[in-house]
Structures are given as C-alpha cells and as structure tokens.
C-alpha cells in the first residue's frame, strides 16, 4: 500500500475523551472512529488488524477441529424465553420490536440459538462430539462503555459451543479450548493467563478467564508469579488426545491464579511471599462448562447408546476479538505509539522515502516495494512529499514492527536502513539484504 492512496486520518492532538493509552493510540492512528457511545467504525488500518486477529482465531479453531458457522445478530425473544434468560439478562440486552410488534433482540451471546439448531438436527449420540463456533458482532448495553474497543457496546466476539454425550467428553472439549486459546493468544504476542473465575449469567461450574496483565485492566487478579513463566510455545499437540489436553490444562491451571470474584485469601497466603502477586488484568476470553443447563431447559437431547434420550453436556467459549486490539496495545507500546507484534501487524514493514522526488530514492523505494510484495509481504510505503520527521512520527505511531529508510546519502554507499520499532536498533544493509531479512523474520509468523 502506498500512503498517498491510503486512508489514514492520523490525529495530532490527543483526544481528550480517551483515558487509556490503547484508546488514545487507536484514535490517533486513525484506526477507529466513535459513532455513538461504545459503538465504533473500523477505519482501514483498524479493520486490517481486526481481520488479522480474526484470522488467527479461525486458524487455531480449525486446528482444534471446531467448525465455523454464522448465526444472525438479530434474534427472536422466544428462544430466550425458553431458557429463562429473556428475563434474567436484564438491561444489558438490547430489545427491539419488529413491525408486527414481535419481541426481537440483538444477540449478546448465542447459547439459545445454537441449542435450537442442535436440537433440530442432531438426534443420536453417534453425531457427537460436536463443536461449532462463530465470529460475530455482539451487543451488550453496558452501563459504562469506556476505554474504546475494550468495553464497547457493540463488539466482535468469537463464541464457540460444544455438545457432548457425557461430562467427561465435555471436559475434554473444555481442555481442548484451553489449549487452543493458549496458542491463539501467543500467536498475537500476548501472554494470557487462565484464571479460575465466576460464571455469571451464563451459569455453570467450571470456568476460566484468560487475562492479560496490564495496569489499565478492569479486573483485580491474584496469582503465583510462577504462572508467568509458563509458555505454550510451538509444541505439537493432538487435539483428540484426551490425556495430552488434560496435561496442558493441569500445567496451566494448577498454580494459583484467580480474579477477585473467586479469590481465596487462605490459599493465596500459602504461596511463598516473594511469588504472591496482585495486579490488574484485561479479560480477553473465557471458557465454560455448564453441563445440561440449556439442553434440559430447551429439550436438546440425543438418543444414547441404550436408546434412551439424554440431555447433552455443553460448554461455551468466548474470545473478545475486538477487545484484543486494545489489550495488545496496552501490552505493547511506548511513548511514541503502538508496537505491533509481528503476528498481527497491519503491514509487515514500512518504507520511508527521505527525499520524495529524488529519482534514485524514488526508484529504490519502488523496487523495494515490488520485491517485498512479490514475496507475499505487505509493505506500507510512505511516498508522501513530507518531511522525514513527520514520516517517522507517523510510522512510530502506527507501530509497524519494521521500517526500511531510504535516502540519497545511503544509496550512494549502496545501503538502506532497517530499523526495529521495538528496540530502535538500525542496521545498514543493501536493499536486497534488507528484503531478505524482513522475509526471514516473517517466515516464523
Ligand atoms: P466482562 O466481564 O469484561 O464484562 P464478560 O465476562 O461478560 O466480560 P463473556 O461473556 O465472557 O464476557 O464474553 C467473552 C469475551 O468477550 C470476554 O472475555 C471479553 O474479552 C469480550 N467482551 C465481553 N464484553 C465486552 C465488551 N463490552 N466489549 C468488548 N469486549 C467484550
Ligand atoms: Mg467473561
């Protein structure tokens, strides 16, 4: 992409309504624009990162064997009356009437609808296990929408639902989700710690939230610092292997890590003092096992091996796709702007032409642009007729992890400069070597 043709409405002033850094940078970098309280338009740069995050979620769900599908945002109230949640959900549910005066709602989550689909089409235990998921807009009429996309009213969420014959099978689904979530967040450059949590209006017994540690997080968390040493890394996992998934689950959830809702002072105090940590965290996902709560209320049964109908065991699993943009920025920025992890960066590398209009500099930039593009990389070429300082400031703000700087002086010696946004370190390389190096970096992402 050439900057001159891109839509990047960068703001010079810090917007006064933004209280936290991720919100400030998303507005300043022209990623989002508020349309009303807690509701945003996603401008091209923000949309690009949103899609990258969504794509990682899809890839990791596919790897775990979960089936993508899509359900409507506007749903009939009838199903929600069946489960009892139409009344229970309260003010957060946006209720709508259609022209025939029928009660509709904008989906805050989709347990009812998926259960209805399930009971219409699945009749036998032989069709289990089954896990389906969607990535779809949700609406919750939050009392205090704030912090930009972190606590929106409209937000983008991955919600997945498993259907199993027994509790044991459903616990395997639970563990499988935990493993796939660990991988998902790590690919985004995040450490998200599974913490025992409270189930809230969804109901059920077993639930873990995934929290990214950040001072601006809304949750208070308590943990054994040993949990921050755990990484999933690139280990191979067979998602059908019950013991293997249970092993990972155990490894990542045995040490103390809880939100304030489930915090247990006595257990916490049993941890050696030096490892006892209290911090703030951003919830980026949650997994639930809730047994037969919905299947019993909505008569979602299958014929068991003995021919008798049994209600299925279910769980639901969510990832805050749009919230993740904020969480990643909270975890990765400096005073100049965002620092995108390679896995989610909107463009792989920025090209800054120090002297637009100089034949040699223009030609070198063009040829870098072509070479990078030919390798399947997406460069963002700042080809505007602007001062170098302004170009650098924009690149730093929008946070591309790598920048190639091209100027007549370097070109005289046959070199360009490759700079890491994270460390600020630069290296002089021939244009060919710079391309090779950037390609090698992204080979692993
Ligand atoms: P919270 O406690 O933050 O209100 P929740 O527990 O009600 O969230 P879930 O039902 O678990 O949310 O939804 C799954 C994920 O969706 C959450 O882990 C979070 O990342 C994201 N999410 C929930 N509410 C919002 C919101 N208002 N804006 C953006 N993302 C949200
Ligand atoms: Mg939650």
Span from the CA of 427 to the centroid of ligand 1 (angstroms): 42
- Cα-based torsion angle of the residue sequence 335, 338, 340, 345 in order, rounded to the nearest 10 degrees: -150
Ligand 1 atom 1 nearest Cα: 283
Query: Please, which residues have CB within 8 angstroms of residue 383's CB and are 6 or more apart in sequence?
Result: 2, 3, 4, 353, 356, 365
Torsions phi, psi of 134, nearest 5? -140, 160
What digits encode the pLDDT tens for the residues 162-218?
Answer: 999 999 999 999 999 999 999 999 999 999 999 998 776 555 568 999 999 999 999
Residue burial 46-67, b: 16+ Cβ < 10 Å; e: rest: bebbbebbbebbbebbeebebe
- Topology of domain 349-443 in CATH is Rossmann fold (3.40.50)
Ligand closest in space to the Cα of 319: 1
3-class state of residue 350 by DSSP: strand
Q: What per-residue confidence (pLDDT) applies to 170? A: 97
Give the integer Cα–Cα distance in Å for 392 and 396: 6
Residues 6+ apart with CB under 8 A from 83: 111, 112, 115, 294, 297, 298
* pLDDT one-digit tens code per residue, 411-435: 999 999 999 999 999 999 999 999 9
Residue 444 pLDDT level (bands cut at 50, 70, 90): confident
How many residues comprise the chain?
445
CA 195 / ligand 2 centre spacing (Å): 11
Residue nearest to atom 11 of ligand 1 (CA): 286
Residue nearest to atom 2 of ligand 1 (CA): 283
Atom of ligand 1 nearest to the CA of 140: 27
Pick the CATH number of 3-338 from 3.20.19.10, 3.40.50.800, 3.30.930.10, 3.40.50.300: 3.30.930.10
Residue nearest to atom 27 of ligand 1 (CA): 151
pTM (two decimals): 0.97
Q: Which atom of ligand 1 is nearest to the CA of 157?
A: 16
Q: Where in the chain is the domain with CATH 3.40.50.800?
A: 349-443
pLDDT band for position 87 (cuts 50, 70, 90): very high
Confidence of residue 17 (pLDDT cuts 50, 70, 90): confident
* Radius of gyration of the chain measured on its C-alpha atoms: 24
More confident site: 202 or 388? 388
pLDDT tens by residue, 263-275: 999 999 999 999 9
152: Cβ below 6 Å to ligand 1?
Answer: yes
Alpha-carbon dihedral of residues 31, 34, 35, 39, nearest 10 degrees?
A: 100
Q: Ligand 2 centre from 202 Cα, in Å?
A: 9
Give distance in angstroms: CA of 320 to centre of ligand 1.
6
**CATH 3.30.930.10 location in the chain:** 3-338
Q: At CA 112, angle to CA 298 and CA 120, rounded to 5?
A: 60
Residue whose Cα lies nearest atom 7 of ligand 1: it is 200
User: Among positive and negative, which fits the CA dihedral 264, 270, 271, 274?
Assistant: positive
Comparing CA positions, the residue from 160, 111, 159, 137 lying closest to residue 38 is: 137
Q: Which ligand is nearest to the CA of 283?
A: 1
What's the 85 CA to ligand 2 centre distance in angstroms? 17
Residues 6+ apart with CB under 8 A from 277: 222, 223, 224, 225
> What is the distance in A from the centroid of ligand 1 to the CA of 109?
10
């Amino acid at each position: 992409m050439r900057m001159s043709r891109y839509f990047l409405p960068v703001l010079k002033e810090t917007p006064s309504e933004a209280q936290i850094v991720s919100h400030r940078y998303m507005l300043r970098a022209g990623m989002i624009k508020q349309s009303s309280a807690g509701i945003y338009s996603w401008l091209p740069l923000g949309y690009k990162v949103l899609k990258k995050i969504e794509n990682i979620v899809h890839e990791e769900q596919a790897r775990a064997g979960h089936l993508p599908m899509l359900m409507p945002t506007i749903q009939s109230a009838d199903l929600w009356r069946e489960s009892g949640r139409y009344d229970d959900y309260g003010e957060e549910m946006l209720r709508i009437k259609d022209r025939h005066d029928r009660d509709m709602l904008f989906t805050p989550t989709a347990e009812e609808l998926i259960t209805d689909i399930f009971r219409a089409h699945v009749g036998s235990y032989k069709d289990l296990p089954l896990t389906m998921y969607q990535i779809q807009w949700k609406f919750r009429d939050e009392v205090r929408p704030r912090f930009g996309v972190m606590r929106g009213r409209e937000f983008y969420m991955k919600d997945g639902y498993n259907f199993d014959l027994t509790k044991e099978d459903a616990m395997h689904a639970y563990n499988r989700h935990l493993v796939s979530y660990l991988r998902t967040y790590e690919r985004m450059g995040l450490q998200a710690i599974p913490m025992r949590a409270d189930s809230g209006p969804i109901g059920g017994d077993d639930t873990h939230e995934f929290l990214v540690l950040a001072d601006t997080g809304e949750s208070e968390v308590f943990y054994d610092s040993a949990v921050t040493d755990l990484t999933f890394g690139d280990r191979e996992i067979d998602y059908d292997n019950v013991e293997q998934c249970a092993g990972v689950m155990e490894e990542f959830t045995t040490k103390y890590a809880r939100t304030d809702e489930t915090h247990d002072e006595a257990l916490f105090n049993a941890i050696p003092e030096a490892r006892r940590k209290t911090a703030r965290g951003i919830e980026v996902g949650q997994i639930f096992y809730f047994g037969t709560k919905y299947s019993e209320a909505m008569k979602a049964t299958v014929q068991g091996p003995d021919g008798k109908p049994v209600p299925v065991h279910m769980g639901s699993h969510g990832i805050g796709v749009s919230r993740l943009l904020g969480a990643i920025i909270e975890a990765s920025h400096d005073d100049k702007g965002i620092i995108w992890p390679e896995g989610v960066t909107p463009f792989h590398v920025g090209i800054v032409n120090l002297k637009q209009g100089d034949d040699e500099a223009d030609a070198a930039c063009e040829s870098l642009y072509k070479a990078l593009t030919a390798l399947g990389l997406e460069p963002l070429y700042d080809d505007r007729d602007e001062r170098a300082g302004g170009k650098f400031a924009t690149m730093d703000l929008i946070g591309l992890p790598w920048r190639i700087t091209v100027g007549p002086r370097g070109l005289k010696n046959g070199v360009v400069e490759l700079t890491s946004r994270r460390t600020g370190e630069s290296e002089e390389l021939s244009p060919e070597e710079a391309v090779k190096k950037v390609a090698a970096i992204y080979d692993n992402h």
